């Protein structure tokens, strides 16, 4: 299993077998629990061929909500099996597998959903095949009590350098949630392209989402407001929060191509499809700048139910330090005005931040003064150190895809760090969580995206979810090996890292 659960207690002779009589019973009166039950049934039906009805009356697989749990009991004494060991937070769950049935208890539907991902991994890899398979669908008996170490476990995809469609993004979400990833950060705008439709500023997407706006002149592509809303809803059904990023004050060439009034002298600028960074900037001393940003922030906030709005803030080499400060100090209250919490790349922490703002550390240096100061001031930090968590770095010098400015990242490198140990001044209590960013300069297809994501993302996912005490490379690489047949069955391309003793055969099937 990845991420490894907080507590696993196997029980001999208590295996449960899913068969044609198995039904799924969900918490009475909860539409959300019912949807999680339907989600589980939909996962199990193709390979098993069973009907797996979902209802509130009967069923040997029960998904129950029990808000009366005792968080202090974690990981549990044995006195009261209904109450002990209950986990706190929305994503915690308790799973009991016995010969007579399976019971999941959670305080919230998100916990039931997390438990469903665990159940999926407990079944043979053939469960992930798209069509009927022969076999015994045995869940190993025992008990699991589980909850995340960090609340935020994210992936970022850059859809500005190369665009990916709503359907591709949905399929990416399907792959990510299996590792209990709960945030998808979308890098929506950059020098090359602008990928989200904004009311009142149609040229952003007509021009900068048009043909020839991807790296090396690929494209076109952008998310319509309806497409974005559809994606947000799809993600929410899977307990994934979308974090939209509008990068500013740098990385804005595409906006300036569409609207030259956003440049210093109002003169037209050329489309850029190379991969240089640090040359464009919004103008801190111009009111047009903030009128534009307010329209964008208002619209993005209105379309996004999640709490965060990412304002970029990285690599503003074309903005003076003074302008950068002025700019960030103008934008922070704008985001707050529309009810969102600011996230920004850690350069933003060079400016004094309210404690609700979240710096995202993407550096490779051993220290970062601004991030440490923000943490001391009460901010929570997202950890994405580029030499560990960047999914766009090459695996080896021979990798055909990816960049290498932060080094080569094999699976052991992706796994071998601790978020609460990475930066002086940023300890366990300051870490909101981890995120693995995937920049798309070199990625043209969903297969490219998957090949860079797997098998490294599971390493970051485990670091974000599992208790620190479970961290163990030997254990991890052997557990990871079992995912090869699962990914093959799901049609997910992955890099066959030689460090992993991959399971080769799928010895089941009709």
**Does 292 contact ligand NGO by CB under 6 A?**
no
Nearer to ligand NGO, 162 or 450 (CB): 162
**Rounded least distance, CB 220 to ligand NGO, Å:** 20
Nearer to ligand NGO, 124 or 250 (CB): 250
Residue from 38, 237, 288, 315 carrying the catalytic annotation? 315
**Does 271 contact ligand NGO by CB under 6 A?**
no
Nearest to 494, CA basis, from 450, 459, 438, 446: 450
**Rounded least distance, CB 277 to ligand NGO, Å:** 5
**Does 194 contact ligand NGO by CB under 6 A?**
no
Nearer to ligand NGO, 362 or 465 (CB): 362
Contacts of 160 (CB under 8 A, 6+ apart): 187, 188, 189, 190, 192, 193, 194, 195, 247, 254, 440
If residue 17 lies in a helix (H) or strand (E), which one and from where to where?
strand 16-18
Contacts with ligand NGO by CB under 6 A: the residue count is 10
Considering only 197, 392, 410, 462, the residue that binds ligand NGO (CB under 6 A) is: 392
d(CA 278, CA 318): 6
Angle formed by the axes of helices 287-303 and 321-337, to 10°? 40
DSSP 101-121: EEEEEESSHHHHHHHHHHHHH
Opening angle at CA 26, ends 87 and 91, nearest 5: 25
Strands (E) across 240-368 are located at 241-248, 308-312, 341-345, 358-361
Nearer to ligand NGO, 140 or 370 (CB): 370
**Does 415 contact ligand NGO by CB under 6 A?**
no
**Rounded least distance, CB 191 to ligand NGO, Å:** 8
82 among known catalytic residues: no
Residue 509, SS3 per DSSP: coil
Nearest to 364, CA basis, from 415, 395, 405: 405
Nearer to ligand NGO, 410 or 441 (CB): 441
Using Cβ positions, the residue closest to ligand NGO within the complex turns out to be: 439
**Does 387 contact ligand NGO by CB under 6 A?**
no
**Does 352 contact ligand NGO by CB under 6 A?**
no
**Rounded least distance, CB 241 to ligand NGO, Å:** 20
Tokens coding 39: 């989600």
d(CA 414, CA 407): 11
Nearer to ligand NGO, 239 or 362 (CB): 362
Tokens coding 133: 């398979």
Residue 188, SS3 per DSSP: coil
Considering only 222, 361, 390, 395, the residue that binds ligand NGO (CB under 6 A) is: 390
**Does 277 contact ligand NGO by CB under 6 A?**
yes
Considering only 315, 323, 412, 499, the residue that binds ligand NGO (CB under 6 A) is: 315
**Does 362 contact ligand NGO by CB under 6 A?**
yes
Instruction: Look up tokens 């993005």; give the residue.
Output: 300
Considering only 146, 314, 410, 462, the residue that binds ligand NGO (CB under 6 A) is: 314
**Rounded least distance, CB 424 to ligand NGO, Å:** 21
Q: Report which DSSP code applies to 423.
A: B
Considering only 16, 137, 308, 345, the residue that binds ligand NGO (CB under 6 A) is: 345
**Does 403 contact ligand NGO by CB under 6 A?**
yes
Edge to edge, what strands does the sheet with 142-146 contain?
7-10, 142-146, 93-98, 101-106, 61-65, 24-26, 54-55
CB atoms within 10 A of CB 189: 29
**Rounded least distance, CB 281 to ligand NGO, Å:** 14
Contacts of 80 (CB under 8 A, 6+ apart): none
d(CA 151, CA 92): 11
Q: Which residues are catalytic?
A: 315
Catalog residues that contact ligand NGO under the rule CB under 6 A: 277, 314-315, 345, 362, 390, 392, 403, 439, 441
């Amino acid at each position: 299993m990845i991420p490894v659960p907080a507590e696993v207690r196997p029980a001999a002779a208590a295996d449960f077998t899913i068969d044609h009589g198995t039904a799924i019973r969900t918490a009475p009166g909860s539409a959300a629990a019912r949807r999680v039950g339907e989600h589980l049934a939909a996962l199990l039906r193709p390979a098993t061929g069973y009907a797996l009805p979902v209802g509130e009356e009967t069923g040997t697989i029960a998904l129950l909500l029990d808000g009366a749990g005792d968080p202090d009991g974690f990981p549990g004494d044995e006195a009261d099996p209904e109450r002990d060991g209950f986990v706190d937070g929305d994503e915690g769950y308790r799973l009991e597998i016995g010969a007579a049935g399976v019971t999941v208890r959670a305080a919230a539907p998100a916990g039931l959903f997390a438990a469903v991902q665990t159940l999926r991994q407990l079944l043979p890899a053939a469960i992930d095949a798209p069509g009927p398979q022969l076999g015994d669908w045995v869940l190993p008996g025992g008990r699991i009590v589980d909850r995340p170490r960090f609340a935020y476990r994210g992936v970022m995809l850059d859809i500005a350098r190369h665009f990916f469609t709503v359907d591709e993004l949905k399929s990416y979400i399907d792959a990510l949630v299996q590792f209990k990833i709960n945030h998808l950060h979308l890098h929506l705008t950059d020098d090359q392209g602008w990928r989200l439709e904004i009311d009142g500023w149609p040229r952003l997407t007509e021009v900068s989402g048009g043909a020839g706006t991807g790296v090396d002149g690929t494209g076109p592509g952008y998310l319509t407001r309806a497409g974005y809303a559809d994606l947000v809803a799809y993600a929410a059904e899977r307990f994934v929060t979308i974090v939209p990023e509008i990068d500013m004050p740098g990385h804005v060439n595409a906006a300036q191509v569409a609207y030259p009034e956003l440049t210093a002298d109002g003169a037209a600028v050329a489309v850029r499809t190379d991969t240089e960074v640090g040359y464009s900037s919004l103008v801190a001393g111009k009111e047009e700048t903030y009128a534009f940003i307010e329209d964008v922030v208002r619209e993005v906030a209105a379309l996004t139910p999640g709490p965060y709005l990412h304002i970029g803030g990285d690599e503003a080499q074309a903005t003076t330090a003074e302008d950068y400060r002025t700019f960030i100090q103008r934008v922070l209250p704008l985001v707050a005005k529309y009810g969102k919490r600011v996230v920004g790349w850690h350069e933003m922490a060079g400016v004094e931040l309210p404690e609700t703002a979240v710096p995202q550390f993407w550096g490779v240096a051993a220290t970062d003064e601004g991030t440490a100061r923000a943490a001391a001031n009460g901010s929570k930090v997202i950890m994405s150190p580029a030499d560990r968590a960047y999914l766009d770095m090459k695996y080896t010098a021979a990798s055909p895809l990816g960049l290498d400015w932060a080094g080569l990242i094999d699976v052991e490198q992706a796994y071998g760090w601790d978020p609460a140990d990475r930066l002086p001044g940023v300890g366990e209590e300051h870490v909101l969580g981890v995120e693995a960013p995937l920049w798309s300069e070199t990625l043209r297809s969903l297969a490219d995206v998957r090949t860079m994501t797997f098998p490294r993302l599971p390493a970051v996912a485990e670091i974000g979810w599992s208790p620190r005490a479970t961290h163990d490379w030997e254990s991890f690489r052997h557990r990871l090996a079992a995912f090869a047949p699962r990914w093959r069955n799901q049609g997910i391309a992955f890099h066959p890292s030689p460090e992993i003793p991959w399971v080769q055969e799928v010895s089941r099937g009709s």
